[in-house]
Amino acid sequence: MGQTRRQFLKTTAVGAGAAASTISFPMVSRGQTKKLVVWWNRGYYKEEDESMLKIAEDFRKQKNVDLDISFTIQEDLRNKIISALTARRGPDVAFCFYNDWEIMPKYAWEGQLIETTDVINELKPRYIEKFLEVAYCYDNKAKKRAYYGVPIEAQTMHSHYWKDLVKEAGLPDDPAKIPMKWDEHWAFWKKAQDNLRKKDPTKYAKVYGIGMTESSSATDTIYNFEMTLLTFSGQIFSNEGKVVADEPKNREAIVKSLKFFGEIFTSGYVPPDTLSWSDGDNNANFHSKSIVMTPNPSVSIPAHHYFNAPDNYFNKSATIEWPDGPDGRKPTYMVAVKTVLFPKDSANKNPDLGKEFVKFVVDPKRFAEYIKGANGRWFPAFKDVAADPFFSRGQVGKGGEKDPHLPTVTKIYLERNTKVFEHWKNPANSQIYAENVWGKAMTRMDVDKWSAEKAADEAIGRVKAIVAQWR
């Protein structure tokens, strides 16, 4: 017999009520354990992720926490964090490789990030202190400057080259014999290209001496430009965060830098595709040996060889520093320091537990294991972890070969002048870099055939216009 409409509605209501109450019961028992949501950048190597999963598991057990950790690749994670912050429903802990450049300055400015001065003060004795200012941002709501993130690892600029190609070109392949004065340095790579093409025009017709990224879609371009600008003693911002790019001394340095990029491109020593390279393309060109050398702001190239072709890592390639300036000064290195954030509007509103987790992660022994999983791609922001022999000695080959890469990188961090990128000074910097204003200026010269002066003036004008939006 069929039900009446009223009976059906009654049954439905009772059923729905019962279902709702059943679902709510576990919530009560779950509510007794503290919950933590962590969004973590997926590592480049599985060892990094495995190490972080182990740390999370240990934290879960030790603190009796319901910890939900997920790994996402950097571009997707950036979009996810921005969407979450816009919707004001973020995770408790967010670590993305783009935090320091694109997320922290803006959202700290908007008052959406939890202050971390307490954590920084606690960890201060362990920090390589010059890395710290990356998180010292301005909160425009609270009208104060404070720490709004926890820096954990860094990357900087160095160059890699194929020793066997240099040897083939009849030039000295020992890293100690590569000329490191500005003009001689670049002339060396041009000569390598010329010699190779002369030696075997068919084989080396498409091999270029310098794998310099000049595209407006790659962040490598930003490192290349900033390093060159420092070489020519130029500044975009003053120490107080004001735009000083249009001051004669700085404009001249910008013009000189742009001329340098324009000259190596138009003279044919840089692959023409460099104008549309993304961050991975200089790596790909290096791996396929279509470039003799490339400046790169991470150790991703040797790290790839270490896992896939140890002979390339130990015997056929090497890492060297950025060349000295035309005035003979040692370079100052731009450093990007990757930082963990804590959104105010998080899923569980449990900032103390989030901070507890990050302190747990950066414990010297645990963090050393985690960061070594990346095979030296990142350099620790902590002195005690950086003191691990792994960073000064590097890997050891099966035949006892010395590491020709990591010790050079460590030397840069510990012995050279370094300067963190200046997004922390003014969130406008995030936009300047997101727009890749300097990459665009290079395109103006390389493609549109503008003069360096005209390209520099357009870029300076754009920088000023962007900064004017952040008052």
The reply to whether 86 sits near other proteins by the rule CB under 8 A is yes
For other proteins, the closer CB: 41 or 395:
41
Among 222-230, 234-242, 395-403, 461-469, the segment contacting other proteins (CB under 8 A): 461-469
For other proteins, the closer CB: 291 or 303:
291
Chain center to CA of 208: 26
The reply to whether 435 sits near other proteins by the rule CB under 8 A is yes
Task: Please give the structure tokens belonging to residue 312.
Answer: 């390339």
Dihedrals φ, ψ of 241, to 5°?
90, 10
The reply to whether 211 sits near other proteins by the rule CB under 8 A is no
Q: What angle do CA 39, 40, 43 make, to 5 degrees?
A: 155
Of 1, 5, 21, 248, the one binding other proteins by CB under 8 A: 5
Q: Closest separation between CB of residue 444 and other proteins, Å? A: 7
The reply to whether 471 sits near other proteins by the rule CB under 8 A is no
Q: Closest separation between CB of residue 267 and other proteins, Å? A: 14
Binding mask 439-458 for other proteins (x = CB under 8 A): xx--xx-xx-----------
Of 353, 436, 463, 467, the one binding other proteins by CB under 8 A: 436
Task: Please give the structure tokens belonging to residue 186.
Answer: 């670049």
The reply to whether 206 sits near other proteins by the rule CB under 8 A is yes
For other proteins, the closer CB: 216 or 250:
216
For other proteins, the closer CB: 121 or 276:
276
Among 65-73, 75-83, 346-354, 372-380, the segment contacting other proteins (CB under 8 A): 75-83
Q: Closest separation between CB of residue 434 and other proteins, Å? A: 4
Q: Closest separation between CB of residue 74 and other proteins, Å? A: 12
Q: Closest separation between CB of residue 442 and other proteins, Å? A: 8
Q: Closest separation between CB of residue 6 and other proteins, Å? A: 8
The reply to whether 469 sits near other proteins by the rule CB under 8 A is yes
Chain center to CA of 150: 15
Of 74, 140, 195, 278, the one binding other proteins by CB under 8 A: 278
Of 106, 163, 405, 425, the one binding other proteins by CB under 8 A: 106
Measured distance between the N- and C-terminal CA atoms of the chain, rounded to whole angstroms: 74
Q: What angle do CA 128, 134, 136 make, to 5 degrees?
A: 105
The reply to whether 465 sits near other proteins by the rule CB under 8 A is yes
Of 39, 95, 97, 107, the one binding other proteins by CB under 8 A: 107
Identify whether the C-beta of residue 172 lies closer than 8 Å to the C-beta of residue 166.
yes
Of 91, 149, 271, 295, the one binding other proteins by CB under 8 A: 271
For other proteins, the closer CB: 78 or 355:
78
The reply to whether 217 sits near other proteins by the rule CB under 8 A is yes
Q: CB 239: neighbour CB atoms within 10 A?
A: 9
The reply to whether 149 sits near other proteins by the rule CB under 8 A is no
For other proteins, the closer CB: 15 or 272:
272
The reply to whether 72 sits near other proteins by the rule CB under 8 A is no
Identify whether the C-beta of residue 283 lies closer than 8 Å to the C-beta of residue 218.
no
The reply to whether 294 sits near other proteins by the rule CB under 8 A is no
Instruction: Give the separation between CA 330 and CA 47, rounded to whole angstroms.
Output: 35
Where b means 16+ CB within 10 Å and e means fewer, 352-373 reads ebbbbbbebbbbeebbbbbbbb
The reply to whether 9 sits near other proteins by the rule CB under 8 A is yes
Residue with tokens 């290195």: 333
Q: Closest separation between CB of residue 446 and other proteins, Å? A: 7
Among 40-48, 103-111, 128-136, 231-239, the segment contacting other proteins (CB under 8 A): 103-111
- Give residues in contact with other proteins (CB under 8 A): 5, 9, 78-79, 82, 85-86, 102-103, 106-107, 206, 215-217, 271-273, 275-276, 278, 290, 430-431, 434-436, 439-440, 443-444, 446-447, 462, 465, 469
